Amino acid sequence: MKLRNTNWNYPTTIWFGAGRINDLPLSCQKMGIKKPLLVTDKGLVKLDIIEDAKRILKEAGIDFTVYSDVQGNPTEANVLNGVAHYAKNGHDGVIAFGGGSAMDAAKTIALMSGQSRSLWDFEDVGENWTHADINGIAPIIAIPTTAGTGSEVGRASVILDEKLQTKKIIFHPKMLPGIVIIDPELTVGLPAHITAWTGVDAMVHAIEAYIAPGYHPMAEGIAIEAIRMIAKYLPRAFNNGSDLEARGQMLVAASMGATAFQKGLGSVHSIAHQLGAIYNKEHGLLNAILLPYALKQNKPAIEEKMGYLSKVLELQKHGTDAIIEYILQLRKELNIPHTLKEIGINDDEAKRIGKTAFLDPSTPSNAMPLNADDLEKLFRAAVKGDLNSL
Nearest distance, CB of residue 132 and Zn ion, angstroms:
24
Beta strands in the chain (DSSP E): 6-8, 13-16, 36-39, 65-67, 93-98, 140-144, 156-161, 166-171, 179-182
Select the span of 13-21, 177-185, 198-206, 338-346 touching Zn ion (CB under 5 A). 198-206
Residue closer to Zn ion by CB (options 287, 297) is 287
How many binding residues for Zn ion (CB under 5 A)? 1
Indicate whether 282 belongs to the interface with Zn ion (CB under 5 A).
no
Residue closer to Zn ion by CB (options 272, 324) is 272
Select the span of 199-207, 228-236, 246-254, 294-302 touching Zn ion (CB under 5 A). 199-207
Cα–Cα distance for residue pair 204/94, rounded to 1 Å: 28
Conformation bin of residue 115: beta by default, left when phi > 0, alpha when psi is -120 to 50: beta
Nearest distance, CB of residue 199 and Zn ion, angstroms:
11
Cα–Cα distance for residue pair 232/42, rounded to 1 Å: 32
Nearest distance, CB of residue 177 and Zn ion, angstroms:
18
Burial 50-63 (b: 16+ CB within 10 A, else e): beebbeebeeeebe
Residue closer to Zn ion by CB (options 27, 101) is 101
Residues 236 and 192: beta-carbon distance below 8 Å: no
Burial 137-171 (b: 16+ CB within 10 A, else e): bbbbbbbbbbbbbbbbbbbbbbbbeeeeebbbbbb
Nearest distance, CB of residue 1 and Zn ion, angstroms:
26
Position with the least CB separation from Zn ion: 201
Select the span of 6-14, 16-24, 193-201, 322-330 touching Zn ion (CB under 5 A). 193-201
Q: Is 13 exposed, middle or buried (0-12, 13-18, 19+ CB in 10 A)?
A: middle
Site string for Zn ion, 149-188 (x = CB under 5 A): ----------------------------------------
Select the span of 59-67, 197-205, 246-254, 370-378 touching Zn ion (CB under 5 A). 197-205
Would you list the DSSP string of 96-108? EEESHHHHHHHHH
Indicate whether 201 belongs to the interface with Zn ion (CB under 5 A).
yes
Select the span of 3-11, 12-20, 23-31, 200-208 touching Zn ion (CB under 5 A). 200-208
Cα Dmax for the chain: 61
Cα–Cα distance for residue pair 182/152, rounded to 1 Å: 9
Nearest distance, CB of residue 254 and Zn ion, angstroms:
10
Cα–Cα distance for residue pair 371/357, rounded to 1 Å: 9
Residue closer to Zn ion by CB (options 3, 343) is 343
User: Which amino acid is residue 84, in one-letter code?
Assistant: A
Nearest distance, CB of residue 204 and Zn ion, angstroms:
6
Site string for Zn ion, 107-146 (x = CB under 5 A): ----------------------------------------
Cα–Cα distance for residue pair 37/60, rounded to 1 Å: 15
Indicate whether 208 belongs to the interface with Zn ion (CB under 5 A).
no
Binding site for Zn ion (CB under 5 A): 201
